[in-house]
Amino acid sequence: MKLASFIYQGIRSYGIVRDDGVVNLGARLGNRYVDLKSLLAANALDEAQRLSGEAIDIHFDAIEFLPVIDNPGKILCVGMNYAEKRKEFDQHNPAPTLFVRFADSQTGHNTPILKPRYSSEFDYEGELAVIIGTGGEDIPREVALSHVAGYSCYMDGSARDWQHSWFTAGKNWRQTGAFGPWMTTADEIPDPHQLAIRTWLNGHMVQDDNTCHMIHQVAELIEYISTFTRLAPGDVIITGSPGGVGKKRNPPLFMQAGDCIEVEIENIGHLSNVIIDAPAHALTAAH
């Protein structure tokens, strides 16, 4: 089952994705579960599954995609988690490299990604996103995948000239991380480490790898993260990018306004966004 969050006729909703549109779960279940995050928190995926045979309510061209989880409590991101990426950046630290994203740094499928005004090194990173379904602390890796609700694609846009040594400043510009198009539920992805992951910039493939090459696998990441912070339904773990990023190309290759960036993960989905320049914001004088 594939589940998406979206806006339809000005109303935020969520639903089951079919080939030609969506079954609007917000219209059917919204009095109990206002969004996809609350559906997960109530452990109510089975209720959604029972409606998966319904006729679609809305065609894709009538909706605006939101990030799969548009209000996550936590977005935890893993850096340097593929062998080729570690070679590119000459990284040798054995522990997972972690940083955080804020919810307002995200955008959905087919919506603009904003190139930060103060960055000349806006880079692409295609990644597998893990959406937590069952929360917990000190989760052993042996059962960690049972805590996963599903998987999605993520384009972790990075202002390289703002990353410095702690990443956060380079990762949290408004609307720089694309998340979608939808979540494929975990029952359809028995092994998250047998998935082709590819990124295209303007139709040219710039990343091509497989999730089997992750240094720290999903279950290990859940175990590690849940030792220091409680994971909750709707939390998101972004598992790292393969090699081929623009920063390490010769010459470097960065995203500019007008570019199209796409991330595809086998059996999950194909995320597509166009880059635009972030608008200037007028300063408001205090009175």
Written as one string, the DSSP assignment of 81-95 is -BHHHHHHHT----S
Where exactly does CATH 3.90.850.10 map onto the chain? 75-277
Query: Per-residue pLDDT tens for 172-230?
Result: 899 999 999 999 999 999 999 999 999 999 999 999 999 999 999 999 999 999 999 99
Query: pTM of the prediction?
Result: 0.94
Q: What's the gap between Cα 163 and its chain centre?
A: 19
* Strand (E) or helix (H) holding 227: helix 218-228
Q: How far apart (Å, rounded) are the C-alpha atoms in residues 9 and 25?
A: 15
Tell me: the pLDDT tens digits for 3-55? 999 999 999 999 999 999 999 999 999 999 999 999 999 999 999 999 999 99
Is residue 166 scored above 80 in pLDDT? no
Q: Could you tell me what percent of the chain has a pLDDT over 90?
A: 86
The reply to whether CATH 3.90.850.10 applies to domain 75-277 is yes
Which candidate, 119, 183, 196, places its Cα nearest to that of 157?
119
79 confidence band (pLDDT: 50, 70, 90):
confident
- Cα gap 187→184, rounded to integer Å: 8
